[in-house]
Amino acid sequence: MQSDQFVSCNSAVVLDIFMVLVSTRSRHITVLVLSLMHFVLIFFSNFMTSGLTLFRSLYIYVVGADFG
């Protein structure tokens, strides 16, 4: 899947940002920021590679499956 390619390509960057955010005291803010950043990065990655629309990317992110 494209999300696997995304994770393999950007795991180092995500890990660095995750470590910086975890070092802070606001754990709930960390989870929120990571979730939003995860969606934004995957959306742009999918959009640039296969031209997915916003709705389709949102559907894949929420449901976890492609409709077609």
pLDDT in tens, 29-66: 767 777 777 777 776 766 665 555 666 666 666 766 65
**Residue 54 located in a structural domain:** yes
**Residue 9 located in a structural domain:** yes
Domain range for 35 is 2-63
**What's the pLDDT at 32?**
72
pLDDT above 50 for 1: no
**Residue 30 located in a structural domain:** yes
Tokens 């960390």 correspond to what residue? Answer: 30
**Residue 68 located in a structural domain:** no
For 67, residues 6+ apart whose C-beta sits below 8 A from its C-beta are 56, 59
Q: Helices marked H in 1-68 — which ranges?
A: 2-22, 27-50, 54-63
* Number of domains the chain is built from: 1
**Residue 16 located in a structural domain:** yes
**What's the pLDDT at 33?**
75
Tell me the C-alpha distance between 51 and 64, whole Å. Answer: 18
Tell me the C-alpha distance between 56 and 62, whole Å. Answer: 10
**Residue 38 located in a structural domain:** yes
- The single-letter DSSP state of residue 34 is H
**Residue 15 located in a structural domain:** yes
